[in-house]
Amino acid sequence: GAGVSQSPSNKVTEKGKDVELRCDPISGHTALYWYRQSLGQGLEFLIYFQGNSAPDKSGLPSDRFSAERTGGSVSTLTIQRTQQEDSAVYLCASSTDGTGVSGELFFGEGSRLTVL
Amino acid sequence: SQKIEQNSEALNIQEGKTATLTCNYTNYSPAYLQWYRQDPGRGPVFLLLIRENEKEKRKERLKVTFDTTLKQSLFHITASQPADSATYLCALEGYSSASKIIFGSGTRLSIRP
């Protein structure tokens, strides 16, 4: 596609439910990032993929969070047993650089998650 | 731990003046520093990248400096316009291929007519 696509754009769920957020990066981009942005805050790093592997998972807040990437393309961020503090905008970004260094990030518009 | 600080949460200046935003970092030796613009409800958009061996980079009305001794980057918008009003984020990246890109909390810039 022309840009990074994220779905759903908005998700309202009840506490305790599982949610899946999807990111479709720009075709050919090897690096893929997930960030979380709470209202009025900066971007909190969650996880970074280089191809299908994740060199850095250090930002995942808890074991309720997991992410995978298949075929070097689409990525899914899964949050199990959601809590109210998980409410935020989840942003995905991709980058062309095969080494993961010096790559300009192209962001999607984000998935806004609200946990009631 | 690695820390990035942007000078203030909000900056208000008069149209036509130069806006200067600051990004300071600690416990990090970045290879690259990037600046992004974010409008409300949108994803960030890349503006400029500067390498650790570069002192200054320009693009139209934008100028970025990078001082690895002071561990600081300055981001300037000259002849500012109300359309420049947005949140500006700085981001750092290390040397290795496994290095993640981390962001500051952003500065909300408002340009009044």
- From chain B, the residues in CB contact with A93 under 8 A are 43-44
- The closest CB to that of A42, out of B42, B45, B106, belongs to B106
Q: Label each residue of A85-97 as H, E or C.
A: HHCEEEEEEEECC
- The closest CB to that of B46, out of A99, A104, A108, belongs to A104
A interface test, pick of B2, B23, B101 with most A CB neighbours within 10 Å: B101
Indicate the pLDDT class of residue A50, thresholds 50, 70 and 90.
confident
Tell me which H or E stretch contains B5: strand B3-6
Using one digit for the tens of pLDDT, what is the confidence trace for B5-42? Answer: 887 778 999 999 999 999 999 888 888 899 999 999 99
Please, are residues B111 and B85 in contact by the beta-carbon 8 Å criterion? yes
Using one digit for the tens of pLDDT, what is the confidence trace for B87-98? Answer: 999 999 877 666
Rounded Cα distance between A30 and A108, Å, is 15
Please, are residues B105 and B6 in contact by the beta-carbon 8 Å criterion? yes
In A, minimum Cα distance to B3 occurs at A44
